[in-house]
Amino acid sequence: MICADELTDTNDKLLLEAQRAANRDDWAAVAAAADEVLKNDPKRAEAMFLMGVALRRMGSEGAAALMFRGASALDPKRGAPLLQLAMCLHERHPMEAYRVALKVQAIMPDTLDGLSVLCNVASSIGRYAEALEWAERAEKKYGVNAEVFHNKSFSLFALGRWQEAWREFKPSLGMANRKTRNYHADKETPRWSPVKHENAVVAIYGEQGIGDEVMYASMIPAAIEAAEAKGSRVVIECYDRNAELFRRSFPQATVYGTLREMYQEWPRHEGVTHRLEMGGLGEYFAAEPFRRDAFLLPDRARKESYAAWLRVSGRVHLRPAIGLAWTGGSWETGRGRRSVPFDDILQLIRGQDATFVCLEYEDRRKDLEFAPHILNPHWATRKGADMDDLAAILTNLDLVISVQTSVVDYCGALGVPCWALADEVPQWRYLPYFGDDTMGFYESVKVYRQKQWGDWKPVINQVARDLKAWTDARKVAA
């Protein structure tokens, strides 16, 4: 750490300025100061490190990785650049991230951040038992840590130890990607237990992404039944995009689509006494892996409207309608490994006698210029669209082929046949708890899995063969 006392060197002053900017999360200022140092001294390791941190915080992880590699080469006994490098590599290059994380452990053993990263990357490459060992070492030395418990729970889920996994999942509540809610202004709202509490008004709220919200909603019917048995009632707080869909599907509960709002009046009017995050439902209603048939209900009028649109646009009365989604998640949540190149999608559908519908949430008009036969109802699938529109489209499709994205969750929740494309070590929900091609939570989803990291070709070839057999069988049946 650079101190302000009696600094005379210009580079030292700039590095101090960069550190102060980092303390106030002004990453553009950090990058600017570090850049000035590197202009003066291209081999200044501290400047490379600070530039890497700034670039990573601004979303440029590739450039950040180069900075961390350079800083580590200049100062190989320092573990911090390697730790940051492992974080940069984790989503797209997990095997390399794992090797780098082991180097961090050798240089600075058993730091909390180092153990947390090791747990995370070991789980990401399928070394679940080892990931548990790293997590338990961190727990023993540092006690309860939300990120460590979060990563530990995923390894337990992957190993099929769901009861333990839900227990370890609970302490991760409050992380940036698992936000908590409070429904009292003057005290903390107590967490609901369907076993202990009677005559309660329970706010069950979504605490993760919209796909997670749908997946956990598969347990809401059981929660409502358990609450009613104790004289309690359930209020659901969800994303506004899911609100109408949830109101129709869970009529015994009151639903508010206010999850993005900071302050609401309804908790006071409803008399909320307890709360429970949707992921917390698993602790009580998913001790073992399970699969459910449809539990969400589409809007009938919208469904009929989209049926008419498909008849006019795609002649679906003559051939099956098949939805396609090939981009999964954001770059922070593994888009690189979860997505399939569009050229592979074109190979998959070439020569197939079907009407194809683009379900991508990003604007794909440029891609689809080369595939004008693919229908593109982007107004209904785009980010921010009402999920009642997506549900209406999905329930008019004969089949959906999708990578790991929320489209799969909606298909499973609506009972729409879906073929999900999963990477070699996918999210835990895509693991084969019931057989090689099954998926937890959803009866209607079949999973095609990579055999080798990053190699989609065999998966695409198999899906293409199965799709041809599926369409041929429909012709014979007709």
Helix (H) or strand (E) holding 302: helix 300-314
Average pLDDT over residues 209-227: 96
208, 211, 219: which is closest to 404 by C-alpha?
Answer: 211
Per-residue model confidence as pLDDT tens digits over 392-411: 999 999 999 999 999 999 99
- For 13-33, what is each residue's pLDDT tens digit? 899 999 999 999 999 999 999
Number of neighbours of residue 205 by Cβ within 10 angstroms? 22
pLDDT the model gives residue 332: 62
Of 431, 346, 359, 449, the residue nearest 399 (C-alpha)? 359
267 within 8 A of 203, measured Cβ to Cβ: yes
Q: Which of 392, 452, 447 is nearest to 425 (CA)?
A: 452
Query: CA 7, CA 23: separation in Å to the nearest integer?
Result: 20
Residue 478's pLDDT is: 61
pTM of the model: 0.90
What is the pLDDT confidence band of residue 7, given thresholds at 50, 70 and 90?
A: very low
Range from 89-98, 391-400, 427-436 that averages highest in pLDDT = 391-400
Give the pLDDT band of residue 334 (cuts 50, 70, 90).
low
Sole residue written with tokens 């073929």: 419
- Residue 330 is predicted with a pLDDT of 65
Among candidates 349, 437, 475, which has minimal Cα distance to 401? 349
Q: What is the pLDDT of residue 87?
A: 94
Estimate the crossing angle of helix 61-74 against helix 45-57, to 10 degrees.
160
Quote the DSSP letter at residue 319: S
Per-residue pLDDT band for 333 (boundaries 50, 70, 90) equals low
Residue 280: pLDDT band (50, 70, 90) is very high
Q: What is the radius of gyration, based on Cα positions, of the chain? A: 25
What mean pLDDT do residues 65-93 have? 94
Is the confidence at residue 274, as pLDDT, over 70?
A: yes
Average pLDDT of the segment spanning 241-251: 97
Question: Taking Cα atoms as reference points, which of 295, 320, 323 lies closest to residue 414?
Answer: 295
Helix pair angle (112-124, 94-107), 10° resolution = 150
114-148 confidence digits (pLDDT tens): 999 999 999 999 999 999 999 999 999 999 888 89
pLDDT band at 9 (very low <50, low <70, confident <90, very high): confident
Q: Per-residue DSSP letters for 314-376?
A: H-TTTS-EEEEE---S-GGGTHHHH---HHHHHHHHTT--SEEEE--SS--HHHHTT-TTEE-
